[in-house]
Amino acid sequence: MNNWLNARAVIQFDSIQEQRIQPLLHRLVKLQGDPNPFDGVKGALFYNAANSMLKLSYGYSLQGDNDMIFQDMQHISEYSVRVGMFTNWFPGTGWKRTTCEWRALKERSQSAPYEWTKTQLAAGTAEPSILRALLQNHKLIAHLSEREKESRLKEVPWMIVAAGTDTTSTALVAFLAAMVLNPHVQAKAQKELDDVLGPISLPTMTDRERLPYIQNLIQEVLRWQPVNPTGIAHACWQDDNYEGYGIKKGTIVAMTRDENVYKDPEIFNPDRFQDPDVPYAPAFGWGRRKCPGIYFAEASLFIVVASLLATFTFSKKRDAAGQVIEPQIEGVSNAIVM
């Protein structure tokens, strides 16, 4: 995947991200009169992320909420939360029928966009995508048998879409929560946009380096509410001492909450990253196992976050008497977060 998603190569896909901003903003504007807009906003963010990932992977653009490929993606995301690995001897039989249905859905969700891209390629109308490049006898799959090629070519782009859609949309939901809870941060980011771009221009990918506060804001979102925790929560089962540090029974250590690294870790503060000694949170992992889509994901988060801040102000809801309603911010499981 590094051939297409490395820091330099991924720039070729910037237009994919930018072209999807206007439709996203239009969807959100329509929700302004909704007394309970959260599900609609979350759905719009998921749709936007799915649309970008499908274009990257297959060259395919969604045709609306009723698009069968999109419907399958939604069902896969919902089912992935509940699915587990079962053996044939596991008690009961109802789950077997359900998992068979899920398997059929997964196979269809892999085959449909794959066959669509193959058809486009045969007709000479396929747009640039990762699958198109692989189908054109890319050297990365030259050593595989024809049967293995088809299997891999169905799996790889599908995995990219599945991994990138849920994570990106979830990070954007966390961003919205952060803005509602921290209006001073939102105001500072909007001032940066006005100072750099003026009050009527939408940002583009070329503006990233000119908007350092917004870039730090995104990094703070990923630190504050990591999309993909890289380890199950652990706690000491007895008092311990490690290299002179006393660790009490029941202590839970969280990497992005280490006060020696992130001062006042529970406070949402993008300015912490102005200090060059404060590292970005390892939201995308490390080393060879680092998420291969990091540069595409960061670009996606930037263009959406900056565009939302340029267009909307997010605030707490008020009741009929005009009193502020304090929101209850709760995390939910998705296909990635356990």
pLDDT per residue as tens digits for the range 176-220: 999 999 999 999 999 999 999 998 899 999 999 999 999 999 999
Angle at 198 between CA 196 and CA 200, to 5 degrees: 140
Which residue from 292, 289, 294, 46 is spatially nearest to 280, judged by alpha carbons?
A: 294
Token reading at 129: 């995508």
Q: Which residues are annotated as a binding site for heme?
A: 291
> b/e per residue, 79-113, with b = 16+ CB within 10 A?
bbeebeeeeeeeeeeeeeeeeeebeeebeebbebb
- Taking 3-state DSSP, the helix, strand and coil percentages for the chain, each rounded to the nearest 5, stand at 60, 5, 40
Residue 282's pLDDT is 86
Indicate whether 31 belongs to any domain: yes
Asked, for residue 107, whether it belongs to a domain, the answer is yes
How many residues does this entry show for the chain? 338
Q: Which helix (H) or strand (E) holds 246?
A: strand 245-247
Specify whether the CB–CB gap between 219 and 281 falls below 8 A.
Answer: yes
Asked, for residue 266, whether it belongs to a domain, the answer is: no
Amino acid letter, residue 295: Y
> How far apart (Å, rounded) are the C-alpha atoms in residues 53 and 33?
29
Q: Is residue 271 part of a domain?
A: no
Report yes or no on 218 lying in a domain: yes
Per-residue tens of pLDDT for the chain, all 338 residues: 778 899 999 999 999 999 999 999 999 999 988 888 889 999 999 999 999 999 999 999 999 999 999 999 888 776 655 554 445 555 555 556 667 777 888 889 999 999 999 999 999 999 999 999 999 877 777 788 888 888 999 999 999 998 899 999 999 999 999 999 999 999 999 999 999 999 889 999 999 999 999 999 999 999 999 886 655 556 677 888 877 878 888 776 556 777 888 999 999 999 999 999 999 988 888 777 788 899 999 999 999 999 999 999 999 988 888 899 888 877 665 544 43
Map tokens 């993008």 to a residue.
Answer: 270
Question: What are the DSSP calls for 157-187, one per residue?
Answer: HHHHHHHHHHHHHHHHHHHHHHHHH-HHHHH
Partnered with residue 245 across adjacent β-strands are 242
Among candidate residues 298, 293, 296, the one with its CA nearest the CA of residue 281? 298
Backbone angles phi, psi at 207, to 5 degrees: -90, -5
Q: What Rg, from alpha-carbon coordinates, does the chain have?
A: 22
Task: Provide the domain limits for residue 9.
Answer: 2-228+291-311
Q: Read off the CATH number of the domain in which 181 is found.
A: 1.10.630.10
pLDDT at 20: 96
Domain count, the chain: 1
Largest CA distance in the chain: 69
**For residue 184, is it within any domain?**
yes
Q: Which residues are annotated as a binding site?
A: 291
333 part of a folded domain: no
* Phi–psi pair at 246, nearest 5 degrees: -80, 125
**Cβ–Cβ under 8 Å, residues 48 and 23:** yes
Type and span of the H or E element at 308:
helix 294-311
What's the rounded Cα separation, in Å, for the pair 148 and 165?
A: 26
**What does the DSSP 8-state code read for residue 325?**
P
Residue 327 lies in a domain: no
Of 309, 218, 217, which is closest to residue 21 (Cα–Cα)?
A: 309
